[in-house]
Structure 1
């Protein structure tokens, strides 16, 4: 069984392979993708900021509690009004003296706070939500009232960052596209979607190098299609899931050398350049070292099996 490091290396290899393909296939889409990741990276490393503060009382043990309302781009924006509002809470910091003030930081997405600041009633709801969340999250009993205050004890940016677990990092300008804080899996999904969703492509540049001479021509390029497939969980003698079986119909290929198959514990990537592209998540984690792939030339069907962990 391969280590987690092997899985990361495999994901990174897939990512760079897809990036390289996208760069050749559509340079403009590649440039746009990298710029977007650079922007995401810069936003990811932006620190949380304190916007306002309320003060209430902890009833047992008694003492004041200051709740810092913070904005932080790492907190997701609200996508669906019918779902709970995303918040992020830092550690509860109590004063060393008995009855001294305690401080906690609760972060919201900046767009949420920007919208609520325009309406006093909505901002009041934010304060009440923060108070209720603090009470439930930390298991403390709070007074029903609160007052808006100008600041709280221990409210320096360093204190705020420490309680929220934010570490200031320097971003290398030459490597900002790597700073988005995203896994190779998520980037791979984005590149794959970009490639599948791209429309109205009339040609793909083909570059052949011989010495210092480049010969560039165009060939007709069709979007790779998602092949027909079936993913099944096979049960063992005792009725427990023991094996995953993936069957893929590949009528347009004749040889195993035409396709590339990359497996991990969580997913599989099958690619036939310019013809097929299939990326699937597994319902169960598998042992990628147990993978067996058999291609039936007569039926042009690929069968892949792997043991469930």
Structure 2
């Protein structure tokens, strides 16, 4: 028998032992058994619940590059409630992303989830909600090294529910297939995860939370405790932006040279150019948004990547 086969046999033996223990508990202490099952079912239901969008605010990014930031505030049963006012606020943070889905220029989106009970408590109190929003703005500034306007506007969200779930790390469980597939799936699970999944089958939705790695400890005490994050902070690469003159000394084109030591191929780069700015992204690695010193003809843009120097050079004519 292969090592994979042995592993499955061992897991099935553990599951059998686990069910035997449950049977003993049910026979010897029915009340304890009932409480255990009820607890597992409640936890399974809470863990399988999807994050729900509560509200969205928009503010201006002032530095290092100007732009707009949309913060989606969500309620999520997976996030624990604050222990008391003196303790940090637990929250789950999604990945900071730049989008341009409406052809109105790039904007940045961040999803933040808190316990539903907190939002239910704050909802009637405009002052408390304002304090929460301001706390989130300060948190984003510290977490992403951004300078944000302290003025915000409640707006309609620009993200779809699917994008919000993806950035927060939430996915649905795949449905059970035939019996052979089910046995294969069971053989690859631990008893604890099996019980959680079985208990969650009693809920209306079969969903699973994919918990991202815990972030590093903060350097100083904060008012916010990040309990889960899909955050991958891209770096701002070194660059040189120059205006090249023509023979008569008039501005002719803009040349941007960017150092990309972690990039090996041009295909890894995403370039978006408008008349007044350029956005360069390498997923989870680099992010650079710059304003051109002059309006440019985006159709004239050419980009060359030097593999030896790991350097990208963009040239675009000035209008």
What TM-score does the superposition give when structure 2 sets the normalisation length? Answer: 0.48
